[in-house]
Amino acid sequence: MRNIIDIGFDMDYTLAQYKSETFESLAYEGTVKKLVYDLGYPSELLEWTFDWNYMVRGLVLDKKKGNILKMDRHKYVKVAYHGFNELSKEDKVDIYESSLIQGSFDEPDYALIDTLFSLAEANLFAQLVDFKDNNPEKILNELRWRTMLVVPELEKEVELLWELRDMRKQLILMRNEHDSVGDKIHHLNWSLKFEDINENDKKEMLSALKDLEFHKVWGQLMKTGYQSSRFVHQVERFACLYTSQVSNLRLYSPDKYYRPSEDFMSHEFDLLRMD
């Protein structure tokens, strides 16, 4: 860092940390008014409200089908909603399984929710999908998107991960010993049915997991199951470093050299695994 002469910052959600509930609510209300008064959308939209806690960054909007997706970095869709209604596993596979070999999920048919400014619009998208399904004679569209790479949501997630670090280590060891555990995990609803775990251990783990306060619908921002999320791919693609707030840089020496973490192949995990 000492060799860097000039540092420039984007202002929004970087130096200026807005109050998301207030700021995004204003953006939501302004968008709804524009849709109704300028673009002729139904006046019923003016009665809608914005749930600022519902959406998270890293989601993908399927603009043609009206679906909201959370996928891993390999573009495998793990969670899918049509509006506010979760798609069944069968529907999800039928619609998106073939997309794995198409390299899709990009504009113009898809929109990436990569910025905090996009959350209000994503929420409105889900509402419009439900409204269109209930009013098939109405055709609704028009969304806009921007990009930013400061991640303030990490503050809470890092705290939660630190508090549960010992439990997570235990779960990782169990996963290595029981390949089937991956199929039993969805949205942090864990099915702990291993033959070598007694009932007291199960109850203790379930109790700890109930305290894990990640997003109830979409889970961790940076994870989709055990894989890195689509949002991680965006961060790695556009950013050399990432942090939850600019002031975190003061915690490190100006002489610090920021190195990438080491990548491991599957066979290396067995050699380096925890005992």
Secondary structure string (H, E, C) spanning 156-179: HHHHHHHHCHHHHHHHHHHHHHCH
Question: What per-residue confidence (pLDDT) applies to 175?
Answer: 62
Per-residue pLDDT of the chain (275 residues; tens, 9 = 90+): 677 777 777 666 677 777 777 878 888 899 899 989 988 888 888 999 888 888 888 899 998 899 999 888 778 888 899 999 999 888 888 888 765 545 577 777 888 888 777 888 899 999 999 998 887 655 544 444 434 455 677 777 778 777 777 777 777 677 655 544 444 444 344 454 445 566 677 666 665 665 556 777 787 888 887 778 878 877 877 777 888 888 888 887 777 777 777 676 665 665 555 55
> Taking the C-alpha atoms of 213, 218, 219 and 224 in order, what is their torsion angle to the nearest 10 degrees?
180
Question: What per-residue confidence (pLDDT) applies to 126?
Answer: 93
CA distance 36 to 81: 25
Residues 6+ apart with CB under 8 A from 137: none
Among residues 46, 34, 21, 43, the alpha carbon closest in space to that of 119 is found at: 21
